[in-house]
Amino acid sequence: MTLSRRKLLSMGAAGLAGSLWPHNPLMAKTEIGAFTLTSLSDGSLTLPASMVLAPLPEDDRAGAIVEFGIGEVMTPPCNITLLQTDERNILFDVGAGSEFMSSAGFLLDALDEVGLTPDDITDIAFTHAHPDHIWGLVDDFDDLLFPNARYLIGQQEWDYWTNPETVDTIDEGRTTFAVGAARRLARIEDNITFFNDGEEILPGVAARATFGHTPGHMAFEVRHGTNAMMILGDCIGNDHIALAHPTWKTGSDQDMEMGAMTRASLLDQITHDQIPVLGFHMQGNGIGRIERAGDRYRFIQDI
């Protein structure tokens, strides 16, 4: 295993607290027919709980804090999907990189854990262009990290983040998101493939429009034979409030009303079809099943 300068620094800081890693280095692997799917840890985020809770009515907010033990800070994991077929090493999103926050940006270390380098990645499909999903596209010198990859993104997502008006129309708290996305997407504008809802973007991978978290957010259904898994991205952004109260409007979604409608519809489909999921911010490695629990849902981690 190659120790990057950033990993060494992180290990040193974490060692003061009695731990060698700022994230869980164990990678969870499962099979989808003849495909191999691995959840890679990019670390975790450190976010104010108000980012999710602020739009809720006071009673709902207070109830959720008690029910789910939510403190002032939330630390959701960041689970990046690696899909391996006979000919391809496919990433879904590229993590936060080194500029977003120190608790995230460990994708290269995770790839090293499974014996891959950035040169081995053949395709990268983006769920959306928020910092923890796309800022890992470049290194500290602004060079592309995955020189041999072909990039794929939903047409609507690309149009939104590359529109020069977005930085002026997005809410003030997300201005840096817009600037960062536009800068990174500009680096791959000559090597990008666009897709729309329902299209098979790669063999066995179909795009599923899940708008709301961002204007063009996409989930992906990976299928081989009778086996399938839904790669969620952030359309179902956590395993507590999003599942217990899917129709609640939460602040993590740019379009809160559409995000709630998308969440409710997708949960109904997932549970009806009994499709396992890999959630970017779901607990642990994000691999599991979502089941109905009365008028709610619950996440059951499989690995």
pLDDT in tens, 40-83: 999 999 999 999 999 999 999 999 999 999 999 999 999 999 99
In this prediction, residue 222 carries a pLDDT of 98
Q: What percent of the chain has pLDDT over 70?
A: 91
In this prediction, residue 302 carries a pLDDT of 83
Q: Is the pLDDT of residue 9 over 90?
A: no
Averaged pLDDT for residues 266-291: 96
> Dihedral through CA 200, CA 201, CA 202, CA 204, nearest 10?
-30
* Domain range summary for the chain, segments of one domain joined by +: 21-301
Q: Hey, what amino acid is at 113?
A: E
d(CA 263, CA 244): 11
Spatial CA neighbour of 95 closest among 284, 281, 277: 281
Q: Is the pLDDT of residue 301 over 50?
A: yes
> Which stretches of 22-127 are assigned E, i.e. beta strand?
28-32, 35-44, 47-48, 73-74, 77-84, 89-92, 123-125
CATH of domain 21-301: 3.60.15.10
Q: Is the pLDDT of residue 4 over 70?
A: no
Cβ distance 37 to 31 under 8 Å?
Answer: yes
Q: What percent of the chain has pLDDT over 90?
A: 89
Q: Is the pLDDT of residue 115 over 80?
A: yes
Spatial CA neighbour of 99 closest among 176, 158, 35, 159: 176
Q: Is the pLDDT of residue 14 over 80?
A: no
Cβ distance 263 to 252 under 8 Å?
Answer: no
Cβ distance 10 to 102 under 8 Å?
Answer: yes
Question: What does pLDDT average to over the chain?
Answer: 91
Quick: pLDDT tens for 27-40.
799 999 999 999 99
Its pTM surpasses 0.85: yes
Both tokens of residue 121? Answer: 């990645």
Burial class (CB in 10 A: 0-12, 13-18, 19+), 187: middle
In this prediction, residue 49 carries a pLDDT of 94
User: CA geometry: angle at 112 spanning 8 and 207, to 5°?
Assistant: 125
Q: Is the pLDDT of residue 210 over 70?
A: yes
Both tokens of residue 149? Answer: 């990859």
d(CA 65, CA 80): 28
Q: Is the pLDDT of residue 10 over 60?
A: no
Q: Is the pLDDT of residue 12 over 60?
A: no
Q: Which residues contact 190 (CB under 8 A, 6 or more apart)?
A: none
Chain position carrying tokens 């029910």: 67
Q: Which residues contact 147 (CB under 8 A, 6 or more apart)?
A: 118, 119
In this prediction, residue 224 carries a pLDDT of 96
Both tokens of residue 33? Answer: 């027919």
